[in-house]
Structure 1
Amino acid sequence: MILKEGSTLTAEELRSWSEIQMAAYKYPRVIEIVTSLPMTATGKILKRQLTAESGASDRPVFEERTNQ
């Protein structure tokens, strides 16, 4: 996610909002806030480069809840 200039939002705030607004299987489990996204010359996001750049140990992972 990229924030607009001057706006503030934490990953936890976005996660809380997502859990309320989305079905349990749809809300994001991992949230990263970055300054820019890698794009092609035509403006498409380079998803493979995003995956390669984000290290699994560096990403904040939230607990998944199960209803029991």
Structure 2
Amino acid sequence: MEHITISTEYIKLDQFLKLAGCISTGGSAKALLQEQMVQVNGELEERRGRKLYPGDEVQVQGEGSYKVQSEQ
């Protein structure tokens, strides 16, 4: 599992996917989510704006698993 560090209280899922290198644009996030390829904390997620907080885990089919961590 790869750890992705954020410097804010939370990060939106589409921004997180870009930060993790899974996608290059917001439109790519929408397509990825519509194809049900993303899970947050073990549950399928379809909302680009889902807020992720430190400790949340994101699994992207074909890419890997990521954990949100705080900069502090």
Q: Same fold (TM over 0.5)?
A: no
Larger CA Rg, structure 1 vs 2? 1
Higher strand share: 2
Tell me: higher relative CO, structure 1 or 2? Use CA pairs within 8 A at least 6 residues apart.
2
Higher helix share: 1
